[in-house]
Structure 1
């Protein structure tokens, strides 16, 4: 109805899945990805994908937890052991955590809120490029989520503008910019939005802790205390702000 054609959705080739994955594995990985420490760990594994040891992964987690996480990946066939105490990522197509994080966010919508969702969506017919990380359907209304797996220091102003351009193209009822970080959004990301929306005379307001919004439709969030909590907060606020009358 919006004049777009879906070119691709739910691509699995770049997910952190073993070759023989099944639904039981998906459920296990989903539960693990709820933990911020595991997501940070996975980013380091992908960074050192050709060869890494336990000591290479201790920047954000304790040795005990890293050893547990490596054992999980080894058991599930995601990594393999090399000589000595070194490991490598089995997949030759995974270079970023982004696709797997998009998959996880789509699963959160489906499993926690019974909201149908697609991830890794490519559309044709738009003016601003057709790549949409997650698209969901909330009570018949279109929701677009931009998912950032990199820390705020790696996010540039041009990416915020591109996100807003995609919103103008898609015209969703609700949009969310999700930065998978425990750091503050007020320091860098929220000011980017304030600057980008200044010409539209739209204000960015803080709703709760590091959750910000624009006109109760556009939400800017991090993953503290967790992704599920923050996505739930946004959907509740959006629905309740509309009111009955």
Structure 2
């Protein structure tokens, strides 16, 4: 039987070993990314799928953000992106009046994002697979502009066994906010997407989490039950009772919120963040 080392031998052996030199990775800029590094992750900025440069000049970016604040414009642009060969304004969305559609098409031309290819037809100058990247760009920008967050869209966090990027991460007051954004209607949401979302939340452990669906439809019909079912499963069957904050803004826990776009997407996001931060604050 091997004799145990003495305390002196253990100390001498440990003192003789040179520690491995840590890999010197460049520290990312911005508090949001650095909070991910402190969680043991190696985040990287992914390239957003946008029909315009991500570093859009400020004047045009501001005008585009103002337009994106209108749900009707987001519906229009979502449809226009899919009509890659060109479109008549009324083809982009069946939910808008013809005058609205024409005005939005002309706005895209004025911003340099579309061209008029005939008297009644337009075409986007850039391409994107879908509206998701634009939604991420808009929300991250507005979190910075309206609420003073250090916010980034499209962040790869390279966690073993956890897929997908972080749509938007934001930092302020020493708190990390994570937003999962869905640009498709609720009917397209799949169980696998919800499970992957909770995998990312479990790995990241943000202070406040928002599951945001850019829709005016009720979340309580499909989205909320799916989130509740997945959360209950992960809690070993413990009952989860969502609390309605206002309209279709729901608190599943004091730190997890489901948000839709009615009446104002960014106002709803701001309210959810406010609720989450208040829940973290000490009571009197």
Task: Please classify the TM superposition score into its range, dividing by the shorter chain length.
Answer: over 0.9
Kindly report the root-mean-square deviation, in angstroms, between the aligned alpha carbons of the 2 structures.
1.8
Q: 1:126 touches 1:169 (CA, 8 Å); kept in 2?
A: no
Contact 2:169–2:178 (8 Å) recurs in 1? yes
* 1:205 paired residue number: 243
Question: Which residues of 2 match residues 25-174 of structure 1 at below 5 A?
Answer: 25-92=60-127, 94-174=128-208
Q: Secondary structure at the match of 2:52?
A: coil
1:188-212: CA deviations, max 9, x gaps? 0000011111231251332222111
C-alpha spacing 1:236/1:181, structure 2 compared with 1 (3 Å): same
TM-superposed CA distance for 1:84, in Å, is: 4.7
- 5+ residue gaps, structure 2, are 1-37
Mapped to 1, the partners of 2:164 and 2:82 lie a distance apart of: 27
Q: Using CA pairs below 8 Å that are at least 6 residues apart, which structure has the higher relative contact order?
A: 1
Counterpart CA distance in 1 for 2:190 and 2:276 is 27
Cα distance between partner residues in 1 of 2:100 and 2:147: 29
For residues 114-140 of structure 1, give each alpha carbon's deviation from its aligned partner in whole angstroms, at most 9, with x where no partner exists: 111000111123421241000001311
Matched residue count: 242
Residue 238, structure 1, aligned to residue 282, structure 2: no
Contact 1:202 1:214 in 2 (8 A): no
Structure 1: unaligned runs, 5 residues or longer: none
Match of 1:8 among 24, 41, 45: 45
Give the one of 36, 44, 57 matched to 1:22. Answer: 57
TM-score where L is the length of structure 2:
0.80
> What SS does the aligned partner of 1:124 have?
coil
Q: Label 1:55 to 1:210 Cα distance change in 2 as closer, same or farther (>3 A).
A: closer
